[in-house]
């Protein structure tokens, strides 16, 4: 049981670190989402190490319980991977849209150039692409296997099954569901109807077996939910800060263009050039951030399969 207690401490510390990142960065920033994904990977890796420290018998239900939990990881990661591919397509097309109307100032008087109306049309297409991406993400975002089990229906005997393995797996299942819910809202789509971050104020039955971990989890869940409620005001959409900032830059550029008249004048307008540069910066940040997350997800999928094999081999070795 000592090994289990150490693992609970690891979970609690990781959740508390994640909370600090959340409160010190922009809401649903790529930095926070990447930290969330990294913590998920650590949970999976450290759990495999824990299993080797717990006396477990071959053929016990513990292997089935683990495989069921890791299967949830694998399915959710595959969904997130497809979502990131949509984001890749979005910012690639957005970059093409920008390059299509950027001038070489030395050739400003060349007759081959886009009309202002064509540029506005391109902006409209970019916004439409973003909406369609969010709509497609919404279809994939619900329902998902993000269940928060109620410990109040589980007695002490259940939690100490398999020398504490059951209790640890219970904690992991709840914590991982919270972390995946955060990733779903940040990378895919948010809707109040999903209810993935619904809080639980009743912790009366959670004073055994990693209660500190569960309390930290509920605190983070409540903090994230309150921030989403404050910023979204009931509206649906993709919550990643860098994506929202990019779309805001698109809106500002569109407003500036509509305020400017004349085919050449808008190209020479320094304020418009500044807005174009701002949009490029936003897209660069979005691109670099999502590329990091894509690599993390890809590596996590590989790790899940590797850890599953290790667990199976370990179970066989106990025979």
Partners of 237 in beta bridges: 190
Confidence of residue 262 (pLDDT cuts 50, 70, 90): low
pLDDT tens figures, 85-135: 889 888 888 887 777 665 544 444 443 345 667 778 888 888 888 988 888
- Cβ distance 213 to 166 under 8 Å? no
pLDDT tens figures, 175-233: 999 999 999 999 988 887 777 787 655 554 444 445 678 889 989 999 999 999 888 87
Neighbouring C-alpha atoms within 13 Å toward the C-beta of 268: 9
pLDDT tens figures, 149-179: 554 434 444 555 556 778 888 889 889 999 9
Domain ranges (residues) in the chain: 2-317
Question: How far apart (Å, rounded) are the C-alpha atoms in residues 297 and 77?
Answer: 6
pTM strictly above 0.85: yes
In this prediction, residue 64 carries a pLDDT of 86
pLDDT, average across residues 55-64: 75
Percent share of the chain, pLDDT over 70 = 80
pLDDT, average across residues 16-43: 95
In this prediction, residue 308 carries a pLDDT of 92
């Amino acid at each position: 049981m000592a090994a289990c207690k150490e693992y609970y401490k690891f979970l609690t510390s990781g959740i508390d670190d994640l909370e600090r990142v959340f409160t010190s960065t922009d809401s649903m920033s790529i930095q926070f989402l990447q930290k969330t994904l990294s913590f998920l990977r650590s949970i999976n890796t450290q759990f495999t190490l824990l299993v080797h420290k717990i006396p477990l018998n071959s053929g016990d239900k513990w292997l089935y319980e683990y495989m069921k939990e890791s299967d949830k990881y694998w399915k959710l990661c595959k969904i997130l991977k497809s979502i990131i591919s949509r984001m890749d397509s979005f910012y690639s097309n957005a970059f093409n849209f920008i390059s299509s109307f950027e001038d070489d100032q030395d050739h400003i008087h060349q007759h081959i150039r886009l009309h202002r109306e064509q540029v506005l049309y391109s902006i409209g297409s970019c916004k439409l692409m973003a909406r369609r991406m969010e709509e497609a993400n919404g279809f994939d975002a619900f329902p998902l296997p993000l269940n928060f089990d109620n410990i109040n229906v589980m007695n002490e005997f259940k939690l100490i099954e398999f020398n504490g393995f059951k209790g640890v797996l219970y904690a992991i299942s709840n914590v991982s569901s919270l972390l995946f819910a955060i990733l779903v809202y940040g990378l895919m789509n948010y809707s109040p109807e999903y209810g993935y971050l619904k809080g639980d104020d009743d912790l009366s039955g959670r004073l055994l077996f990693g209660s500190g971990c569960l309390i930290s989890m509920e605190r983070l869940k409540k903090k994230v939910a309150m921030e989403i409620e404050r910023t979204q005001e009931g509206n649906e959409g993709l919550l990643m800060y860098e994506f929202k900032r990019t779309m805001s830059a698109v809106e500002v550029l569109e407003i500036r263009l509509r305020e400017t008249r004349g085919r050449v004048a808008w190209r020479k307008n320094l304020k418009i050039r500044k807005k174009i540069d701002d949009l490029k910066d936003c897209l660069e940040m979005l691109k670099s951030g999502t590329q990091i997350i894509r690599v993390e997800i890809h590596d996590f999928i590989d790790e899940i399969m590797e850890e599953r094999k290790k667990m199976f081999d370990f179970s066989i070795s106990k025979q």
